[in-house]
Amino acid sequence: MNREEFYGRVYRIVASIPYGKVATYGQIAWMLELPRNARQVGHALYSAPAYLHLPCHRVVNSSGRMVPGWPEQRELLRAEGVCFKENGNVDLKQNIWNQEPQAPSNPLE
DNA sequence: AAATTGACGGTTA
DNA sequence: GTAACCGCCAATT
Protein backbone atom coordinates (compact mmCIF):
# COMPACT_ATOMS: atom_id res chain seq x y z
CA MET A 1 0.00 0.00 0.00
CA ASN A 2 1.43 3.31 -1.04
CA ARG A 3 0.85 6.71 0.47
CA GLU A 4 -1.94 7.70 -1.86
CA GLU A 5 -3.87 4.53 -1.26
CA PHE A 6 -3.53 4.87 2.47
CA TYR A 7 -4.70 8.45 2.38
CA GLY A 8 -7.61 7.53 0.15
CA ARG A 9 -8.75 4.83 2.54
CA VAL A 10 -8.54 7.21 5.46
CA TYR A 11 -10.59 9.81 3.62
CA ARG A 12 -13.21 7.25 2.68
CA ILE A 13 -13.67 6.23 6.29
CA VAL A 14 -13.66 9.75 7.66
CA ALA A 15 -16.25 10.74 5.08
CA SER A 16 -18.51 8.00 6.39
CA ILE A 17 -18.57 9.21 9.97
CA PRO A 18 -22.21 10.02 10.71
CA TYR A 19 -23.38 13.45 11.75
CA GLY A 20 -23.04 14.01 15.46
CA LYS A 21 -20.60 11.14 15.90
CA VAL A 22 -16.85 11.08 16.41
CA ALA A 23 -14.11 8.55 15.75
CA THR A 24 -10.60 8.18 17.11
CA TYR A 25 -7.41 7.95 15.09
CA GLY A 26 -6.73 4.52 16.48
CA GLN A 27 -10.20 3.39 15.58
CA ILE A 28 -9.74 4.46 11.99
CA ALA A 29 -6.32 2.85 11.86
CA TRP A 30 -7.88 -0.35 13.12
CA MET A 31 -10.48 -0.24 10.36
CA LEU A 32 -7.62 -0.06 7.88
CA GLU A 33 -6.16 -3.22 9.40
CA LEU A 34 -3.22 -1.09 10.47
CA PRO A 35 -3.73 -0.69 14.21
CA ARG A 36 -0.29 0.89 14.69
CA ASN A 37 -0.77 3.62 12.13
CA ALA A 38 -2.89 6.00 14.17
CA ARG A 39 -0.32 8.73 13.64
CA GLN A 40 -0.42 8.27 9.91
CA VAL A 41 -4.16 8.75 10.06
CA GLY A 42 -3.41 12.09 11.66
CA HIS A 43 -0.96 12.90 8.89
CA ALA A 44 -3.51 11.94 6.29
CA LEU A 45 -6.09 14.30 7.78
CA TYR A 46 -3.51 17.02 8.19
CA SER A 47 -2.74 16.63 4.53
CA ALA A 48 -6.39 16.27 3.59
CA PRO A 49 -7.34 18.66 0.79
CA ALA A 50 -10.19 21.00 1.65
CA TYR A 51 -12.12 20.23 -1.48
CA LEU A 52 -12.92 16.77 -0.16
CA HIS A 53 -15.09 18.37 2.52
CA LEU A 54 -14.10 15.77 5.01
CA PRO A 55 -15.68 15.99 8.47
CA CYS A 56 -12.23 15.81 9.98
CA HIS A 57 -13.52 17.69 13.02
CA ARG A 58 -15.25 14.45 13.96
CA VAL A 59 -11.90 12.78 14.50
CA VAL A 60 -10.32 13.08 17.94
CA ASN A 61 -7.66 11.18 19.82
CA SER A 62 -8.37 8.42 22.32
CA SER A 63 -8.66 10.91 25.17
CA GLY A 64 -11.38 12.88 23.42
CA ARG A 65 -8.88 15.69 22.96
CA MET A 66 -9.23 17.59 19.73
CA VAL A 67 -6.77 19.03 17.29
CA PRO A 68 -4.26 21.39 18.91
CA GLY A 69 -4.30 24.74 17.19
CA TRP A 70 -7.84 24.31 15.88
CA PRO A 71 -10.28 25.71 18.46
CA GLU A 72 -13.06 25.84 15.90
CA GLN A 73 -13.28 22.09 15.95
CA ARG A 74 -14.96 22.27 19.31
CA GLU A 75 -17.62 24.62 18.02
CA LEU A 76 -18.21 22.46 14.99
CA LEU A 77 -18.76 19.41 17.15
CA ARG A 78 -20.97 21.28 19.56
CA ALA A 79 -23.05 22.46 16.62
CA GLU A 80 -23.66 18.80 15.80
CA GLY A 81 -24.90 18.07 19.27
CA VAL A 82 -21.75 16.37 20.51
CA CYS A 83 -21.48 16.25 24.30
CA PHE A 84 -18.36 17.33 26.12
CA LYS A 85 -16.86 16.38 29.43
CA GLU A 86 -16.11 18.82 32.20
CA ASN A 87 -12.47 19.03 31.18
CA GLY A 88 -13.57 20.25 27.76
CA ASN A 89 -12.85 17.06 25.89
CA VAL A 90 -15.32 15.14 23.79
CA ASP A 91 -17.40 12.68 25.73
CA LEU A 92 -16.37 9.59 23.82
CA LYS A 93 -18.72 7.31 25.70
CA GLN A 94 -21.70 9.10 24.24
CA ASN A 95 -20.41 10.21 20.88
CA ILE A 96 -18.06 7.50 19.71
CA TRP A 97 -18.95 6.17 16.31
CA ASN A 98 -19.92 2.52 16.46
CA GLN A 99 -19.75 0.98 13.06
CA GLU A 100 -22.04 -1.78 14.25
CA PRO A 101 -24.41 -0.20 16.72
CA GLN A 102 -26.26 -3.50 17.01
CA ALA A 103 -27.49 -2.52 20.42
CA PRO A 104 -30.15 -5.06 21.42
CA SER A 105 -31.79 -2.11 23.08
CA ASN A 106 -33.21 -4.24 25.79
CA PRO A 107 -36.00 -2.07 27.21
CA LEU A 108 -35.41 -3.58 30.61
CA GLU A 109 -31.96 -2.15 30.85
C1' DA B 1 21.37 8.21 5.82
C1' DA B 2 20.39 9.79 10.68
C1' DA B 3 17.83 12.49 13.74
C1' DT B 4 13.63 14.90 14.82
C1' DT B 5 8.80 15.60 14.84
C1' DG B 6 3.90 14.71 15.21
C1' DA B 7 -4.04 16.15 14.33
C1' DC B 8 -1.53 8.91 18.36
C1' DG B 9 -2.21 4.90 21.94
C1' DG B 10 -1.58 2.37 25.98
C1' DT B 11 0.52 1.46 30.47
C1' DT B 12 2.28 2.93 34.74
C1' DA B 13 2.91 5.98 38.77
C1' DG C 1 -7.89 13.61 36.87
C1' DT C 2 -2.39 14.58 35.22
C1' DA C 3 2.44 13.35 33.90
C1' DA C 4 6.06 10.53 32.40
C1' DC C 5 7.56 6.73 29.42
C1' DC C 6 7.69 3.67 25.71
C1' DG C 7 6.07 1.82 21.21
C1' DC C 8 4.71 2.85 16.76
C1' DC C 9 5.39 4.65 11.67
C1' DA C 10 5.56 8.10 8.02
C1' DA C 11 6.91 12.88 6.80
C1' DT C 12 10.17 16.27 7.42
C1' DT C 13 14.52 18.32 8.40
CATH code, domain with A15:
1.10.10.10
Give a yes or no: residue A104 inside a domain: no
Q: List the domain range (segments joined by +) for residue A73.
A: 3-95
Question: What pLDDT does A107 receive?
Answer: 46
In-domain check, residue A60: yes
Return d(Cα A45, Cα A98) in angstroms, integer. Answer: 20
Is A101 a domain residue?
A: no
Residue spans of chain A under pLDDT 70: 100-109
Residue A18 lies in a domain: yes
The domain total for chain A is: 1
DSSP A44-96: HHHT--GGG---GGGEE-TTS---TT-THHHHHHHHTT--B-TTSSB-HHHHB
Closest nucleotide C1' to the C-alpha of A63? B9
Q: Would A64 be classed as within a structural domain?
A: yes
For B6, nearest residue by CA–C1' is A39
Q: CA–C1' span, A87 to C1, in Å?
A: 9
Structural domain contains residue A108: no
Question: Is-catalytic flag, A56?
Answer: yes
Report the pLDDT value the prediction gives residue A108, as an integer from 0 to 100: 59
* Residues A15/A28, Cβ–Cβ less than 8 Å: no
State the catalytic residue, choosing from A17, A32, A38, A56.
A56
A80 in any annotated domain: yes
Residue A45 lies in a domain: yes
